[in-house]
A and B are shown apart, each in its own frame.
Chain A
Amino acid sequence: MERDLADELQFHLDRLKPETRADFGGLEQVKEACRDERGTGFVDRAGQDLRYAWRMFVKHPGFTLAVVGTLGLGIGGATTMFGVVDGVLLKPLPYRNADGILQIGRVFGGVQVSATSTVDYEALVSRVTSLSQTAVARTETIDVTGGSAPEQLQAAVVSASYFEVLGVAPAAGQLFSPEDDRSGSRPIVVVSDAVWRRRLGATVNALGQPLLLNGQPHIIVAVMPRRFRGPEALGHDGVDLWLPLGRLKLSADPDDAGLGTIAMIGSGIESATAIREIESVGRDLAEGGSGNSAAARFWTAPLRTRTVGSAGMGIWMLFGAVSLLLIIACTNVANLFLIRATERRHEIAVRAALGAGRTRIARQLITETLCFSLAGGAVGAALAYGGIALLRAWAPIDLPRIEELSVDLRVLLFAFLVASVSGLVFGVLPALQARRTDFSSVLRSASSNTTAGRAHLRQRGVLVVLQTALAAMLVVGAALLANSVLRLANVPPGFDPSNVVWVDVSLPERAYAGPAAKVLYFDALLERLNASAGTGAVGLIQGRPLGGGNSVTTVAPEGELPLQGQQSPRVPAHVVAPGYFSVLRIPLLDGRDFNADDRSTSSRVAIVSRAFADRFWPGERAVGHRLWIGRIAAGAPSVEIVGVVEDVRQYRLDDAPGPMLYRAFSQVPRGNATLVVRHDGPSPTGMIDQIRAAAWSLDSALPLEHAGTMEAAVSRSIREPRFRAMALSAFGIIACVIAAVGLYGALAWLVRARSRELGVRIALGANARELRFIVMRQGLLLAGAGVVLGLAVAAATAGLMESLIFGISAIDGPTYAAAGAVMLFAAFCASWLPARRAARLNPIAILRE
């Protein structure tokens, strides 16, 4: 194309008589005018720019690698975290009209419970007009037998409206109808896609076949779609079977809150209206109800908020940290582009002289940076694929909705946007510089290696301060989290987890119906284990420490019955067998442990924790007092306190222990409990196998999957804060290194730029130390400014970190000071080499230039 034009014009030129040749008037301008007239200028020019950019790519592989690599890492990290933010916090739940789904529960004495009662359900259905559908559900564990291997599966017993609220249709078959909500309904079941594939061979004839659930045949009426998962907030994410509500014996007690409840807001109605109406219906119910339910109320929240729970804070924090890192990476890249532009001033000036307009040059520079940035973005997107896959497999933190994480279109769009915006910004800076440059003076200057102008030095200085400030923020955050984790790890849990293993035992309901069967089994098992070699102490508890699974109940101390209109306080309750406390070495403060004399026929006894005793009987001995547990029926016997034990951090290490109640297993036996065994052997797994063998020797069909060591449980409970601390520390270190490298580069540049002045100083007698001092001072000033700025911003935004740290305040003097010291030390190291080089300058060589 270009050659054609040149040839064409040359042909004309040759024909002109010599005297008119001068009239030709700017061959280049004619060419440019022709090019303009071609009109497809944009595409052609873009093509030119791209070709030019490609040449730049190839000719300077070091530069390309640095830019694309830095950007790739930065964008990759940010995109991965955005994938998490989007998948967990931003995307609506995978149900039709997900934002219109509410979860509803009861409030008892200020404590929120994730369930309502049958009476509540009926009231919600009949009296709340803003809800189009209300549904209830209860989870059960079911033994599935017949056909393939027996397994224990999670099931949800649901009202027919459940599927309507979630807006899901079956992949095959028909879901429940309202008749199935009534008791005595037909024995049917809906299965998940996974069960259909695993147990039913994924055949079309699966519908209508029976499935043996707890020994009873149930007809399969529908199969759920592959991607369907029950709501996590109800605990249905692991559910594989759905059963009709009619199978439950529902209690008429208005306070027996055992049904998880979700509801769909009617179309066109605002959620605030619906929530208000639900709460007012709740208050109506409370006032008209019996003594116990007075002042009970409903709580309502969007299902998504309940699903995400408290994970939001941590995720946003990590996203913020990664974004800071991205910005730091971008400042580095911006710096590289600026240096490049400065080195190419000569070349650009020549192009300008040849007729390229300033806009044209600017456009070409921006095209170049865009290409680099988009390449970096592509690398980043590829890294994000790996990052998300790693997160899903490794799951270092308990992410809700982790199954939904993926690099989908929205995430890719994010990567593309970040890359484009950064590319434009990187291009604008040198382009602006190019606009302002006086090209003729550049061409006139003899040296092609440039001495930087003051403006350039200022730019670099600003970038260094910015980088250092951001790095300081990350380092402070990391230090706070690390400090937190250390404190958390050192918090005494109240029990001794060393050399203790636990095994969950679930007795199937149909084989062990009734309390006597359960007591019989566990007594036999405990006896057998006590007699085994290697077992020190053996115990049993429902709801092991840091494992959940306990119940919550109301208590009413004798002589302190709740008045009309008041709520009995609720406390967590655990059922334990004698010997439990000695296994975990929980000190007995007063009274006695349960023993063999506490039978189902003897008087009811209980043990309480220290906090419990302090709460209800401060200043007195709790032993000997009596209280009522649960609903107070007329004439029901009260329970006697026989012992007080030390507080235990049962649920979370960072929660101060509250009042706890322990009941005797022989008196209130449960089918699900955890064996805890202290062993003196070296091998925990060996001990676990031994326990399993003992349990199986009494009943070979028991599922005994869940087991582990107490130490692992304690360490797992700080898994999340520890991961966050590690991630932030990694970011902090990277940021520190980048900032240090940035400072080093700026100082090296400075030494070169001021080489004349320094040369003169040396000639005038300055010694090495003074010169080093000059450079070091500059370095530390820059870094110091950055550190102060960074720490100030960190302190100002400290409130954001509050919920993530434990044991210290978010503005902890020593931690901040330590972070600042680390940064300054890094700055010191970064300044050392340029300072030495300054001291070694040869004044004669410099002054001769």
Chain B
Amino acid sequence: MGGPRLPQGTLDLLILKTLALAPQHGWAVSERLRQISADQLQVTQGSLYPALHRLERRGWIKSRWDATEHNRRAKYYELTRTGRKELERNADAWRQMAGAVGQVLDLT
């Protein structure tokens, strides 16, 4: 597992954001995260898939089976409307918190 250890809520947030950009399957999500964060974030399957299933149970994402460009069968996830709202709410909260933490840490 590479990169900083992500608390569970953070991982959920990242997944939601990734899926907000476009519906993808699990592998694509992990690759996208790696790319965007310039290899900082590498999510293992052990965390990713349980997270995806959790989010689906909560109703924030939904899944369907579809064919990839190579005609293989894969499970695609996409955001639901509830999920989109959650994403906005949580993202705002996260930025607020990150700002606050940063401020504290910047104190000399």
- Residues on A close to B: CB < 8 A? 4, 7-9, 11-13, 15, 23-26, 29-30, 33-40
Q: Tell me which of B30, B44, B53, B72 contacts A34 (CB under 8 A).
A: B53
Closest to B31 in A: A15
B75–A30 contact, CB under 8 A?
Answer: no
Number of interface residues of B (CB under 8 A): 18
Residues of B within 8 A of A34 (CB): 49-50, 53
Closest to A35 in B: B53
A8–B44 contact, CB under 8 A?
Answer: no
Q: Tell me which of A25, A37, A38 contacts B44 (CB under 8 A).
A: A25
B93 beta carbon closer than 8 Å to chain A: no
A30–B46 contact, CB under 8 A?
Answer: yes
Of residues A26, A29, A33, A36, which shows the largest number of chain B Cβ atoms within 10 Å of its Cβ?
A: A33
Closest to B72 in A: A11
Residues of B within 8 A of A8 (CB): 25-26, 49, 74-75
A365 and B30 CA atoms in complex are apart in Å by 39
Residues of A within 8 A of B89 (CB): none
B45 beta carbon closer than 8 Å to chain A: yes
B57 beta carbon closer than 8 Å to chain A: yes
Residues of B within 8 A of A37 (CB): 50-51, 53-54, 57
Residues of A within 8 A of B51 (CB): 37
B49–A9 contact, CB under 8 A?
Answer: yes
B50–A36 contact, CB under 8 A?
Answer: yes
Residues of A within 8 A of B25 (CB): 8, 11
Q: Tell me which of B45, B57, B72 contacts A9 (CB under 8 A).
A: B45
Q: Tell me which of A4, A13, A25 contacts B46 (CB under 8 A).
A: A25
Residues of A within 8 A of B49 (CB): 8-9, 12, 30, 33-34
B73 beta carbon closer than 8 Å to chain A: yes
Residues of A within 8 A of B54 (CB): 37, 39
Give the secondary structure class of A's interface.
Answer: helix
A11–B27 contact, CB under 8 A?
Answer: yes
A11 and B72 CA atoms in complex are apart in Å by 9
Of residues A24, A29, A34, A36, which shows the largest number of chain B Cβ atoms within 10 Å of its Cβ?
A: A34
A33 and B72 CA atoms in complex are apart in Å by 25
Q: Tell me which of A11, A33, A40 contacts B74 (CB under 8 A).
A: A11
Contacts A8-B25, A8-B75, A37-B54 aside, 10 further interface pairs with beta carbons under 8 A come to A4-B75, A9-B49, A11-B25, A11-B27, A12-B30, A12-B49, A13-B45, A29-B46, A37-B51, A39-B54
A12–B73 contact, CB under 8 A?
Answer: no
A15 and B68 CA atoms in complex are apart in Å by 13
A12–B44 contact, CB under 8 A?
Answer: no
Residues of B within 8 A of A13 (CB): 45
Q: How far is the CB of B48 from chain A (nearest CB, A)?
A: 8
A728 and B75 CA atoms in complex are apart in Å by 67
Can you list 26 A-B contacts (CB < 8 A)?
Answer: A4-B65, A7-B73, A8-B26, A9-B45, A11-B25, A11-B26, A11-B75, A12-B27, A12-B30, A12-B45, A12-B49, A13-B45, A23-B44, A25-B45, A30-B46, A30-B49, A33-B46, A33-B49, A34-B49, A34-B50, A37-B50, A37-B53, A37-B57, A38-B53, A38-B57, A40-B57
- Residues on B close to A: CB < 8 A? 25-27, 30, 44-46, 49-51, 53-54, 57, 65, 72-75
Q: How far is the CB of A31 from chain B (nearest CB, A)?
A: 9
A34 and B45 CA atoms in complex are apart in Å by 10
Give the secondary structure class of B's interface.
Answer: helix
Residues of A within 8 A of B44 (CB): 23, 25
Q: How far is the CB of A21 from chain B (nearest CB, A)?
A: 10
Residues of B within 8 A of A39 (CB): 54, 57
Residues of A within 8 A of B45 (CB): 9, 12-13, 24-25, 30
A806 and B70 CA atoms in complex are apart in Å by 93
Residues of B within 8 A of A9 (CB): 45, 49
A26 and B30 CA atoms in complex are apart in Å by 18
Of residues B45, B53, B54, B65, which shows the largest number of chain A Cβ atoms within 10 Å of its Cβ?
A: B45
Q: How far is the CB of A502 from chain B (nearest CB, A)?
A: 82
Closest to B51 in A: A37
Q: How far is the CB of A588 from chain B (nearest CB, A)?
A: 97
Residues of B within 8 A of A15 (CB): 27
Of residues B46, B57, B65, B72, which shows the largest number of chain A Cβ atoms within 10 Å of its Cβ?
A: B46
Q: How far is the CB of B11 from chain A (nearest CB, A)?
A: 12
A33–B26 contact, CB under 8 A?
Answer: no
A29 and B26 CA atoms in complex are apart in Å by 17
Q: How far is the CB of B9 from chain A (nearest CB, A)?
A: 14
| A7-B73, A9-B45, A11-B72 given; A33·B50 CB < 8 A | yes
Residues of A within 8 A of B50 (CB): 30, 33-34, 36-37
Q: How far is the CB of B72 from chain A (nearest CB, A)?
A: 7
Closest to A34 in B: B53
B26–A12 contact, CB under 8 A?
Answer: yes
Q: How far is the CB of B107 from chain A (nearest CB, A)?
A: 39
Q: How far is the CB of B23 from chain A (nearest CB, A)?
A: 15
Q: How far is the CB of B40 from chain A (nearest CB, A)?
A: 17
Q: How far is the CB of A493 from chain B (nearest CB, A)?
A: 81
A8 and B74 CA atoms in complex are apart in Å by 6
A29 and B49 CA atoms in complex are apart in Å by 11
A37 and B47 CA atoms in complex are apart in Å by 11
Q: How far is the CB of B29 from chain A (nearest CB, A)?
A: 10
Closest to A12 in B: B27
Q: How far is the CB of B100 from chain A (nearest CB, A)?
A: 30
A4 and B53 CA atoms in complex are apart in Å by 12
A12 and B75 CA atoms in complex are apart in Å by 10
Residues of A within 8 A of B74 (CB): 8, 11
A30 and B45 CA atoms in complex are apart in Å by 8
Residues of B within 8 A of A11 (CB): 25-27, 72-75
Residues of A within 8 A of B30 (CB): 12
Q: How far is the CB of A23 from chain B (nearest CB, A)?
A: 7
Residues of A within 8 A of B46 (CB): 24-26, 29-30, 33
Residues of A within 8 A of B57 (CB): 37-40
Residues of B within 8 A of A23 (CB): 44
Closest to B47 in A: A33
A24 and B1 CA atoms in complex are apart in Å by 10
A23 and B47 CA atoms in complex are apart in Å by 12
A23 and B42 CA atoms in complex are apart in Å by 12
A38 and B53 CA atoms in complex are apart in Å by 6
Q: How far is the CB of A3 from chain B (nearest CB, A)?
A: 11
Closest to A13 in B: B45
Q: How far is the CB of A818 from chain B (nearest CB, A)?
A: 68
Which are the 7 A-B pairs with shortest beta-carbon distances?
A37-B54, A33-B50, A37-B53, A34-B53, A37-B50, A8-B75, A39-B57
Closest to A40 in B: B57
A24 and B44 CA atoms in complex are apart in Å by 8
Q: How far is the CB of A39 from chain B (nearest CB, A)?
A: 5
A8 and B30 CA atoms in complex are apart in Å by 14
A7 and B65 CA atoms in complex are apart in Å by 11
Residues of B within 8 A of A25 (CB): 44-46
A40 and B65 CA atoms in complex are apart in Å by 21
Residues of B within 8 A of A7 (CB): 73, 75
Closest to A7 in B: B73
A513 and B46 CA atoms in complex are apart in Å by 104
Q: How far is the CB of B33 from chain A (nearest CB, A)?
A: 14
Residues of A within 8 A of B73 (CB): 7, 11
